[in-house]
Structure 1
Amino acid sequence: TGYTVAAQWEDEVICAGGGDAQKHFEEVIALRWDGESISQRSLPALPQPRAFASGAIVETTLYVAGGLETPDDTVASRNFWALNLAVPGAQWQILEPVPGAPRHSAVTGASDGAFYLFSGTALELDTAGATSYEFLTDAYRYHPSHGWERLHDLPYPAAAAPSPAIAVGPSHLLVLGGNTGADVDRVQELGDLHPGFSRNVLAYHIITDTWAHLGTLPMGQVTVPTVQQGGHIFIPSGEIRPGVRTAAVWQASPSGAVPPFGTINYVVVAAYFLVLAGMGLYFWNRGKSDTDYFLARRRIPWWAAGISIFGTQLSAITFMAIPAKAYATDWVYFLGQIAILLVAPIVVYLYLPFFRRLQITTAYEYLEQRFSVAVRLFGSLAFVLLQLGRMGVVIFLPALALSAVTGFNLYLAILLMGLLSTFYTALGGMEAVIWSDVMQVIVLLGGALLSLIIIVLNIEGGASGLIEIATSENKFHMLTWSWDATTTAVWVVLGGSIFSNLIPYTADQTVVQRYLTTKTEKLAARSVWTNAALTIPGGLLFFSLGTALFVFYQQHAGALEPSLSTDAIFPLFIVQQLPQGISGLLIAGIFAAAMSSLDSSLNSAAAALVCDFYKRFKPHSTASIRLRLAKWLTVGLGVLATAIGLLMATIEIASLFDFFLELLGLLGSSLAGLFALGIFTRRAHSTGALIGACTSAIVLYLVSVFTAIHFFLYASIGILTCFVVGYIMSHLLPIHRPQLNALTIYTLGDRLPNNEQHDAD
């Protein structure tokens, strides 16, 4: 039979319906090639016979739309059926009919969990009783959760184009040629002189709901399925003009096209890197001990420490991901930025006194004084492992995005970021880290602001036009009112973000270490407030930038690069639209964001290893030996992190590595729970705390695997589980408790070291 729906499912091809000149069929079969022969199995038949229908598989479900029931039909169908291929014994479900005119030979596609239907042909009888054809340009999207939605029309019909439409990248569907209806009334007259079908390639962008002309095909083929295999697109046979088929099989491979980065841009990036290297040399050998090396001799200005905290939290992944999130969706996640205003006073008044008054270098020293050495080592080791994994990702993902949009060699980008960060961090210690962070935050925020201004100047209507379009597209939506824990409801995002922020600001050495670099507790508190003051306008800037990018590319859809990930939209704009020199500075800013997180992780992980392990078990070692060890550990960690980044670029280990990081990430909530348990309770002890931490990780893993609860709530579940279980087990397993002077909020004023007395004033 011909004119069947054909779709790829795992290692099979599903064929649904079809027909010949005498009859249309309802049979559905699955074909598999085992290398020598084709095997066949039957699936549930269609509810009715159909030929010239259209279909695509969305996740595990095959959808079939429209078509003709018999060869003599004078009106097409609006049927819409679904079969879940993953459920044994499943039957066809009859769904809400396709909107618009009844049609056959539409083009379908699947992307981001939704089914798309474009164009098609409608039949109608004219006044003489003859069948006439209307070639359609309307387009629709069907999502299982909220039904059909009308999209922007195609610029011209593309009926019977190869189907399913080709999904390229995360947000493009390609419609390859199709029948525009041109010369439909002259088929007999033209005969062999018929020019054939359209060779134009249309790209539909699902985020901006726009169409763009992407190129031309060597031959226009219709009524033929598309096949995607091994990164290639195949179009086997098909009609090249009415009644004439070809035996040709065409193969294509999606490829990106970005402008060259340019000499001036390379010079700017190189100059930026030289400045960073110079900072490492400038701060070389200023410290005489490991404490000086890790705490910058406690002489960092409060405002610089605050900017450094902000820079540490703002990685290159975040620098690209926040604008990309606002570009692809809306402002719902902005509530997470507001949470820092609620977390800052908690940190300043309830946590900071313990970190400042106990004469510690790492946060995990508190855990030993409050609980035991075992809890300290647990916390420190979890932190080091998480940072080591995080450093590889922080290097790899930005390098991947930058290489895609600039043509910059991926391995060279990883090496430059990893080794340069290692160089200036190892030489200058925390002092070099903080002052490089200050410079890099200025570059980041300045570059983002400059980009926003340039985008607004290139949008029709300027700022007012941007606001008008974004408002009409609901891009400023921020508040979702629901009690559903699986959604981004207000309480989920805001409440979840409060607990999520507690993890880095109360249990992460990269942040806590900044608290310890100022002269006094009062100045450390100012650094926390400085970070909070930067987070809100920074969030406004990055979300505004994402919304502006949406409006810009809605008006310039042809400038989009389909093969790039959504997270690369900001780097793409930088390279495409900004002049030489400025784009180089902004790309340097993305490098800066990666390195500002990397240098913090290097120094803090080295601090944890030196103070929580080496110094803890060799308390009589000299400061000079520990200083040399700190520098060599920084070098070793940097080389290892760079090697992990290179490994991720070489071998397909991304999913395995993601799983590793997810498991380690479960411990982040446990760490925050341990600090809360120590500070806010009297009865909690070491055994109960460790049981609580391990239980927290297990519970959080089960929640993430077996429930649909939104990830915003993971931190709250993990922290509260650790706290509650740890507290209960401490009651059930009573043991001798150490002195708690100055170790809980109830005993904070009992004892203060004399040389830190001024911190409490």
Structure 2
Amino acid sequence: MSNLRVLDLVIIALYLVAMVAVGVYFARKNVNPEQYSSASGSIPGWAIGMSIYATFLSSNTFLGVPGKAFGTNWNAFVFSLSMPLAAWVAARYFVPFYRSTGEISAYTHLEHRFGSWARTYAVVCFLLTQLARIGSIFFGIALTLQALTGLSMELIMLVTGICIIVYTVLGGIEAVIWTEVVQGVIKTFGALLILYLIVDNLPGGLARVVSIGEQHDKFSLGGFSPDLTQSTFWVVLLYGFFINLNNFGVDQNYVQRYHTAASARQASKSIWLCVWLYVPASLLFFVIGAALFAYYQVHPELIEAVKLKVAAEKLPLMASAAEISQAAARLLPADYGDKVMPHFMVTKIPSGFVGLIVSAILAAAMSTISSGMNASATVFTADIYERYFHRSPLSMRQTMRVLHLGTVVVGLLGMGTGIAMIGVKSVLDVWWELSGIFAAGMLGLFLLAVVSRQTRNHEALTATIIGVLVILWMTFSGKLPAELAAFRNPLHKSMIIVVGTLTIFLLGLLFTRLRGSRSRPESAALPSTEQSVYH
């Protein structure tokens, strides 16, 4: 049964219609592939920065971060603290590099350096990362809207997915960026509104939040001991640096935006604007999680319905009420953290405000999904279709058709991934683990290509094969039987991207040094900026 009143439904419907209308408006400008994928370099730097900020501020942040803070502490905030260093590296080295190549795809350079296998490997890693990201975001939005509407999560993903596909296909990257500018503002306002409503309903206000948070160690950033087996401050800092370096330096979602800027300087400024916006914004969501924990510590009876529902989902269908109640009593906050904010919205937020906040959550989901779809379609067209299936140059109309088809297919596959995630414990944990696995090999190979000009094809390939084996071992060795426990990965799962990246990069350098040659490998000339970025 729906918990949304008519006013809330009207606000949500108006928001969805407005997003589709934006796509229709920009559709008239998308007459060629360059406009569809790079807006012909006409977007101001501040708008690109807001767009990148909106992409970072996905529903994984909007829902997953408060859930994580409710269930544990502020350890995950260290991820945000790693952003400035990664941004400096990207602005100093990666942005000028991409702008000089004129290539719309971030992965074309890998083929120039190491051959087609390197480009294909990076593209596959990127597309898998996007499916994981899009799927986790679809899951997050469905989790919230199910609590509000009573509709099935599958139906919610289908409806929202169709709206996102329509405005992304019609509007291209320009529609994505300008809608993300608006969505970034809506998300931030929605988060502030939620925090105000929680504190307003809590006797003692923020002082009570701080008091209860200190009692339960909610503000801890993790231990500072050099322990790489637990989620310490240093483990999350390392994970955050490598993931953010991958985001700013290798991920097509962000690289594609650098081409929409009028200059490299504007593109670099956009990265820093994103950082200065996202770090305090992410802190806001950790404060929301701590405030929700304090609220339900004061009113524990108000969270019982959530605990009973989670417990019932874990038990057989024929479980008795007594068994469900006993199971609910054994649950820890981490077991139901993702469901707490949707429950608060259902029970405590007044009519009208719910519609605004749902629109903010939809904005958080739609901005990241739409940018991921557009970037994935661009990579599919430039790095797969034109490279392997249609070697002769495509006409403008053919290229646009492939871009549109790729956008639709990625959107549908992302919905399928989201449906497959139904039932996971923490959407943030799932996203962090999958992104670390897929990004590790891609980042290590790219760093090797950019930093070491002497590394040759076979050395990079050997290092990548060993790196992938290390990543697979770190990912799956935890499932080894007890008699093989000595062969399990002893490190925390967040270290996968760190170890995987360094394995490929350092082994590539080692193999190059062992060869003892200091001559540069012959490489294909990069295309000039006058050429089409698709050919």
- Shorter-chain TM-score range: 0.7 to 0.9
For 1:586-597, what aligned pairs fall within 5 Å after superposition?
A: 586-597=357-368
Measured against aligned partners, the alpha-carbon deviations of 1:327-382 in whole angstroms (never above 9, x if no partner) come to 12221221111100111110011211111110010100121223222211221122
In 1, the alpha carbon distance for the partners of 2:413 and 2:219 equals 42
Partner of 2:160: 417
Alignment partners' CA distance in 2, 1:332 and 1:643: 31
**Against the structure 1 CA distance between its residues 637 and 621, is the aligned structure 2 distance closer, same or farther, given a 3 Å change threshold?**
same
Matching residue within 362, 372, 386 for 2:115: 372
| Residue of structure 2 equivalent to 1:504 | 247
Match of 1:362 among 93, 100, 105: 105
Are 2:375 and 1:632 equivalent residues in the alignment?
no
How far apart, CA to CA, are the structure 1 residues paired with 2:4 and 2:172? 33
Alpha-carbon contact 2:128-2:438 (below 8 Å) kept: no
Indicate the residue corresponding to 1:691 in structure 2: 462
CA distance in 2, matches of 1:503, 1:570: 30
CA displacement at 1:630 relative to structure 2: 0.8
Tell me the equivalent position of 1:524.
267
Between stretches 259-268 and 305-314, larger displacement belongs to: 259-268
Query: For residues 606-621 of structure 1, what are the structure 2 equivalents within 5 Å?
Result: 606-616=377-387, 618-621=391-394
How much has 1:619 moved relative to structure 2? 4.7
- The structure that is strand-richer by fraction is 1
- Between structure 1 and structure 2, the one with the greater Rg is 1
Write the letter of the residue equivalent to 1:459: L
Q: Aligned to 2:29, which of 286, 291, 300? A: 286
SS of corresponding position for 2:472: helix
Determine if contact 1:648/1:654 at 8 Å carries over to the other structure.
Answer: no
Assess if the C-alpha contact under 8 Å between 2:132 and 2:434 holds in 1: no
Distance 2:511 2:153 in 1: 50
Identity, in percent, stands at: 33
Amino acid across the alignment from 1:717: V
Matched residue, 1:709 = 491
**CA offsets 1:568-623 (integer angstroms, 9 cap, x no match):** 21121122111111112212222222222211111111101111123335352222
Q: Which amino acid aligns with 1:694?
A: I
Deviation at 1:712, TM superposition (A): 2.7
Q: 2 CA distance for matches of 1:686 and 1:516?
A: 28
Deviation at 1:699, TM superposition (A): 0.7
**Does residue 572 of structure 1 match 2:343?**
yes
Find the residue that maps to 2:351 and give its secondary structure: coil
After superposition, the C-alpha distances for 1:197-250 in whole angstroms (9 at most, x for unaligned) are: xxxxxxxxxxxxxxxxxxxxxxxxxxxxxxxxxxxxxxxxxxxxxxxxxxxxxx
Aligned counterpart, 1:297:
40
Instruction: Check whether the contact 2:45–2:267 (CA below 8 A) recurs between aligned residues.
Output: yes
- TM superposition shift of 1:386: 3.1
- Tell me whether 1:307 sits opposite 2:56 in the alignment: no
Paired with 1:391 and 1:261, the residues of 2 have a C-alpha distance of 26
Q: Which residue of 1 aligns with 2:283?
A: 540
Per the alignment, residue 486 of structure 1 pairs with 229
1:670 corresponds, among 441, 453, 462, to: 441
Contact 1:312 1:511 (C-alpha < 8 Å) held by counterparts: no
Report the Cα offset of residue 661 of structure 1: 11
Which residue of the other structure, out of 1, 4, 17, is the alignment partner of 1:274? 17
- Mapped to 2, the partners of 1:504 and 1:483 lie a distance apart of 26
Query: RCO higher in 1 or 2 (8 Å CA, sep ≥ 6)?
Result: 2
**CA spacing shift, 1:497–1:640, aligned 2, 3 Å:** closer
Output the CA distance in 2 between the equivalents of 1:446 and 1:337: 20
- Is residue 112–residue 525 contact of structure 2 (8 Å, CA) maintained in 1? no
Q: Does 1:263 align with 2:6?
A: yes
The 5-angstrom pairing of residues 76-225 of structure 1 reads none
Q: Distance in 2 between matches of 1:434 and 1:473?
A: 41
C-alpha distance in 1, partners of 2:231/2:421?
Answer: 32
Letter in 2 for 1:546: G
* Structure-2 change in CA distance of 1:742 and 1:319 (3 Å): farther
Aligned length: 487
Q: What do residues 508-560 of structure 1 show as CA deviations (whole Å, max 9, x unaligned)?
A: 11121112111110000011001111121111111111111111111121211
Deviation at 1:414, TM superposition (A): 0.8
Contact 1:261 1:407 in 2 (8 A): no
For 1:686 and 1:755, how far apart are their aligned partners in 2?
28
- Asked whether the 8 Å contact 2:54–2:181 carries over to 1, the reply is yes
Q: Show the counterpart of 1:720.
A: 502
Alignment of 1:236-247 (within 5 A): none
Tell me the amino acid that sits aligned with residue 239 of structure 2. Answer: G
Kindly report which structure 2 residues correspond to 1:408-487, keeping only aligned pairs within 5 A, or say none: 408-487=151-230
Corresponding residue for residue 404 of structure 1: 147
Check the 8 A contact 1:433/1:599 in 2, yes or no: yes
RMSD over aligned CA atoms reads 2.8
- How far 1:320 sits from its partner (Å)? 0.6
1:674/1:689 contact within 8 Å kept? yes
Matched residue SS, 1:522: helix
Distance 1:411 1:492, change over 3 A: closer
Q: Aligned AA for 1:425?
A: T
Look up the equivalent residue of 1:494 and give its one-letter code. Answer: L
Relative to the length of structure 1, the TM-score reads 0.60
Structure 1 gap ranges (5+):
1-257, 744-751, 757-761
CA contact (8 A) 1:688 1:728 kept: no
Which whole-Å CA distance do the structure 2 matches of 1:328 and 1:389 have between them? Answer: 23
Q: C-alpha separation between the residues in 1 aligned to 2:33 and 2:175?
A: 14
Counterpart residue number, 1:245: none
Q: Which runs of 5+ in 2 are unaligned?
A: 311-335, 478-487
SS at match of 2:82: helix
Q: CA deviation at 1:385?
A: 3.2
Cα offset for 1:286? 0.6
Question: Is 2:370 the counterpart of 1:599?
Answer: yes
- Are the aligned partners of 2:179 and 2:367 in contact in 1 as well (CA < 8 Å)? yes
1:696 deviates by: 1.6
Larger proportion of helix: 2
> What code does the residue aligned with 2:50 have?
I
Q: Secondary structure at the match of 1:287?
A: coil
TM superposition shift of 1:319: 1.4
TM-score normalised over the length of structure 2: 0.84
Higher mean C-alpha displacement, 521-530 vs 488-497: 488-497
Deviation at 1:717, TM superposition (A): 0.6
Report how far residue 727 of structure 1 moved: 2.2
